[in-house]
Amino acid sequence: MGTLTPFLLTPFTEIWGSPVFFAEVVLTGLLTGVMYSLVALGFVLIFKASRVFNYAQGIMVLFAALTLVGLMEHGVPVWLAIGLTIVVMVGLAVAVERLMLRHLVNQPDIILFMATIGLAFFLEGFGEMVWGSNVKELNIGIPDNPVEFGGILLSSFDIIAALTGAVMVFGLALFFQKTAIGRALRAVADDHQAALSVGIPLKTIWITVWSVAGVVALVTGIMWGAKSGVQFSLSLIALKALPVLILGGFTSVPGAIIGGLIIGVGEKIAEIYWGPALGGAIENWFAYMLAMVFLLFRPQGLFGERIIERV
Amino acid sequence: MTAAATAQASAAVALADEIPAPRATGNVLLAVDDISLSFGGVQALSHVSFDIREGEIRAIIGPNGAGKSSMLNVINGFYHPNSGTITYKGTARREMRPDQAARSGIARTFQNIALFRGMTTLDNIMTGRNTMMRRNFLWQALYWGPARREEIEHRAKVEEIIDFLEIQAIRKTPVGRLPYGLQKRVELGRALAAEPDLLLLDEPMAGMNTEEKEDMCRFILDVNAQLGTTIALIEHDMSVVMDISDRVVVLDYGVKIADGPPDEVRTDPQVIEAYLGVTHRED
């Protein structure tokens, strides 16, 4: 019994003993979770529209952040630099469609997946060639002060980042549910051929989603980059999106949002309350373990399309 | 010719006297000329030519693997022929992209239903209006102002189609859940939403029971009569084809073997041979 106490008893007495601190942990988790949702959304958009798992999504985050920092180092003002980076990401989307997707139409999914791996290596090399590979500081002037709400301490930067993320996530969700373009995109996601037959140009849709994914990558890059510096490890943040996707389902926008929040809160709670019993640093693997347990029970994710094969 | 076949032929002639003359008198809307298409070593179509006239119901028939669906795919731009030209509304070209075809007024349905399964009936039919959405990207993205007004206009048109096809009750149902016959009807609705000049139907009645077939026949005839839409259809059910079409083109192994009004085609020895695999020629 004694060995189980740190797992089964201590965490709950701690939570009970200090509810304000617990609320702080949950809120911090939620704020991080919004950022995970944002990364995951980048994957979901491309996966929905082209059935491609975009391995390069993480590198796109790094590439966008590198471009932004690089421009700012050359004395370009922040807002102009952000605008120019968006132009670069849209340009990247056009190039991906022209040089990659267009030639791989109707190829098996694995071929497209391999192509995105190639794209990832290219972007990594290209980004470092143009902007250099040393760690860069990104400061776009968002204040990082402790803010107190009824005894709960939060970072003002986290709050602003989460708000930005939330606005983007919900804006995109509305965009895809309510507008004609969103409907066209969902149509392409459902059936390429039928979409073509009603006159939806696949190429425009692909460019649109890759551009949106590029902008999402930029926002993610700004937020994480400002926290931990712009360096190669930024691209690994995308790996955190994998458990989020498994949890939420690869094809679901709401799934990406909820999945991100669950992972964000879950890993914070696990780290703070169960971490000591396990020797700490469980934040790094907790999300993956959660996702694997989840796979056992709901392989299609929380909101993913259920795959039923009739035999 | 056997006695039975002769009797059938004379009956057909007698029937032909009662039926009003085919309405295939409009201008040529679409003409395919000398179209050949091959996939690797398989010759799907060889030197096929025929035309479709404004306002008619034109059937394309033939045994399995005759190249019927390939022909439809060439017309709407999914396949690009190796040679030959397609003249549509007076403009001749070798090939076009599917979205260009859609925008120039060609809508279609598929042999294996190709609906957007996760979307509702209403949304599916709304996608059919895609080619008519004129507002620019930014307005649509904002879903505001003119784009919103436009959306409402399109929605009204879609409701008309839903009434026409008598599918009001399934307006909000995701189409993946609908029975086969209704899915076919929704697919027709999506094609009609584009207000096409030329409607291509790939086996609109395949896999349906008699009642569903009768409904679909009625819809096809109504579309043709009320909306004046020119229709080209592929169908296996011979009685249906002979009943509703004005002119029939028969393909066999990618070659055109007959072309004309149903009664003429029905008695054509080559057609009978292609379908039954027996020789009826007499020397």
Q: In chain A, which residues touch B (CB < 8 A)?
A: 174-175, 178-181, 183-184, 186-187, 189-191, 193-202, 305
Q: Measured between CB atoms, which of A174, A175, A194 is closest to B116? A: A194
Report CA-CA distances (Å) from B190 to A53, A180, A188, A200, B261: 30, 15, 15, 13, 29
Return the structure tokens found at B89. Answer: 């509304």
Is the Cβ–Cβ distance between B117 and B180 less than 8 Å? no
What are the angstrom distances between the C-alpha of B52 and each of A68, B100, B249?
A: 57, 19, 10
What residues pair up with B107 in beta bridges, in sequence order? B199
- The pLDDT of residue B247: 93
Per-residue model confidence (pLDDT) at position B22: 47
The residue length of chain A stands at: 311
Say whether B127 and A200 touch across the interface (CB within 8 A).
Answer: yes
Q: How far apart are CA B194 and CA A54, in angstroms?
A: 34
* Amino acid identity for residue B79 in this structure: Y
What's the pLDDT score for residue B136? 54
User: Distance between CA B61 and CA B250 in Å, rounded?
Assistant: 5
- Give the pLDDT confidence of B220-256 residue by residue, as tens digits: 999 999 888 999 999 877 778 888 999 999 999 899 9
- Candidates A198, A207, A209: best to mutate against B (most CBs of B within 10 A) is A198
Characterise B96 by phi-psi region: left (phi > 0), alpha (psi -120 to 50), beta (else).
beta
- B1-11 residue pLDDT tens: 455 555 554 44
Instruction: Collect all residues of chain B within an 8 Å Cβ-Cβ radius of residue A200.
Output: 99, 127, 130
Instruction: State the DSSP code for A103.
Output: G
Residues on chain B touching A174 (C-beta within 8 angstroms): 143
Q: Model confidence over B93-134: pLDDT tens digits?
A: 887 888 888 888 999 999 888 888 888 899 899 988 887 776
Cβ separation B131–A199 shorter than 8 A: yes
pLDDT at B66 > cutoff 90:
no
Compare all CA atoms of chain A with the CA of B97 and give the residue at the minimum distance: A196
Kindly report the backbone phi and psi dihedral angles of residue B35, in degrees, each rounded to the nearest multiple of 5, phi listed first: -80, 130
**Buried-state track A189-208, b at ≥16 Cβ within 10 A, e below 16:** bbbbebbbbbbbbbeebbbb
Cβ contact (<8 Å) for A191 and B117?
A: yes
CA B192 to chain centre: 11
Task: Report the phi/psi class of residue B265: left, alpha or beta, with left for phi > 0 and alpha for psi in -120 to 50.
Answer: alpha
- Which positions in chain A touch B145 (Cβ < 8 Å)? none
Contact B116 A191 (CB under 8 A): yes
**% of chain A surpassing 70 pLDDT:** 97
* Helix ranges, chain B (H): 3-18, 68-75, 98-103, 121-127, 137-142, 146-164, 180-193, 210-222, 238-244, 262-266, 269-276
CB atoms within 10 A of CB B246: 20
Q: 3-class SS at A302?
A: coil
Q: Is the pTM of this model over 0.90?
A: no
Tokens for A122? 């290219």
Cβ separation A191–B126 shorter than 8 A:
no
Distances from the Cα of A64 to the Cα of A158, A225, A293, angstroms: 20, 10, 34
Q: What is the pLDDT of residues A283-300, one digit of tens each?
A: 778 888 888 888 888 777
DSSP A136: B
- In chain B, what residues touch A187 (CB-CB under 8 Å)? 116, 119, 127
Do B216 and B243 contact (CB within 8 A), yes or no? no
pLDDT in tens, A231-283: 888 887 777 888 888 888 777 778 888 888 999 999 888 888 887 777 777 87
What pLDDT shows up at residue A306?
62
Average of per-residue pLDDT across A131-152: 80
Amino acid identity of residue A66, one-letter, is L
CA separation (Å) from B258 to A93, B38, B139? 50, 21, 51
**Alpha-carbon gap, residue A240 to A58, rounded angstroms:** 10
End-to-end CA distance of chain A: 49
Q: Which domains does chain B have, with CATH numbers?
A: 1-102+198-206+230-283 (3.40.50.300), 106-195 (3.40.50.300)
Q: What is the largest CA-CA distance in chain A?
A: 68
CA-closest candidate to residue B111, choices A311, A185, A203, A197: A197
The verdict on a CB contact (< 8 Å) between A197 and B102 is yes
Nearest-CA distance A181 → chain B (Å) = 7
Measured CA to CA, the distance from residue B190 to residue A166 in angstroms comes to 35
Supply φ then ψ for residue B83, to 5 degrees: -155, 170
- Which of A226 and A67 is assigned the larger pLDDT? A67
